[in-house]
Amino acid sequence: MIKMVVTDIDGTIYSPENGISEKVKKCIHNLVSNGKYVAIATGRTYSSAKYIADMIGIKCPLICYQGGLVNSYEGEILDVKYLNPDIAREIIADCRKRNIHLNVYIEDTLYVEDDDQYIKDYIGDKGIDYFKVNSFDELDFSKLNKLLAINYDTKFIDDFIIELRNKYPQIYVVKSFDYFCEIANKEATKGSAIKFLANRLGFSEKEVLAIGDQNNDIEMVKTAGIGVAMANGTDEIKAEADYITDTVQNDGFVKAINKFVWEKTDV
């Protein structure tokens, strides 16, 4: 029996064109009212994840930074895994040489050196602020959540991810969108966060349904008892999923819940 549903945000329950549909909101409220736990899992900051929870109208655990931070809805830190500062500074120096845009996240605050189009496009409607600094070198990296490298050349991102994985096997590097390279603590995955929450709540991760669309969702799809990929997801996550549901535009989240939690097929 499924006791908890863990969902990604972007491309899973949220699309820039339509936001979060009323069917998805109703479905999530129905889960909660019937005693199921719901958690949101995202690469976003806590404040941005909370913004989505408020949009839905629920108070639930928030898995942020791919699993590097697990917070209660109210903001209590339940689990945190920071990125090694020395490795981070090496990567930052390399990105400067190559003129790669970087977002740096420290204690749930976003910093940039370049106030450019990359950061403006990234912020969009995520509901978060950012701060420009003259140099990342002036920041305290002892509580570094993650780095995010952004480049609109998707082949460059793919190659950069391979390069970082080979050079730094002790960290977690993953593509969360076509032009996003996420860099975090080795244990900062959505899969590890599912194990943490399930254990905290007193049941097995095999009693969890997880649903997502991108490569950063693969670990949680593999960890959960039922792993669902969106039809608009990557080929890589579809290959690892137990089931492929419909697209975000067609309320694939709702269809998956109906199939595996309520055992019905109508939406």
CATH no. for residue 93?
3.30.1240.10
Residues 68 and 94 in one domain: no
Model confidence at 260, in pLDDT bands (50, 70, 90)?
A: very high
Residue with tokens 């993953």: 174
Closest CA to 222 of 177, 190, 261, 185: 190
pLDDT, mean of residues 224-234: 98
**66 & 93 share domain:** no
Asked if residue 179 has pLDDT above 80, the reply is: yes
Tell me what the mean pLDDT of segment 83-96 comes to.
96
Examine the pLDDT at 244 and tell me if it is beyond 60: yes
Average pLDDT over residues 195-221: 97
pLDDT score of 100: 94
For residue 265, tell me if it sits in a domain.
Answer: no
SS3 126: coil
- Which helix H or strand E contains 177, and what residues bound it? strand 171-177
Would you say residue 267 has pLDDT above 60?
Answer: no
Residue 266's pLDDT is what? 42
* pLDDT for the residue numbered 217: 97
Q: What gap in Å lies between CA 248 and CA 259, rounded to an integer?
A: 16
Per the structure, the complete domain to which residue 147 belongs is given by: 85-185
| Residue finishing a domain among 138, 160, 185 | 185
The percent of residues above 70 in pLDDT, for the chain, comes to 97
First to last CA, the chain: 20
Same domain membership, residue 90 and residue 48: no
Residue 265 has pLDDT above 50, yes or no: no
Distance of alpha carbon 262 from its chain centroid, rounded?
26
- Residue at 257: amino acid letter: I
**Does 19 share its domain with 62?**
yes
Amino acid at 163: E
Of 170, 185, 200, which closes a domain? 185
Most confident range, picked from 12-26, 119-133, 253-267 = 12-26
Instruction: Answer yes or no: pTM beyond 0.85.
Output: yes
Mean pLDDT within 108-133: 89
The stretch 208-227 carries a mean pLDDT of 97
Average pLDDT of the chain to the nearest whole number: 95
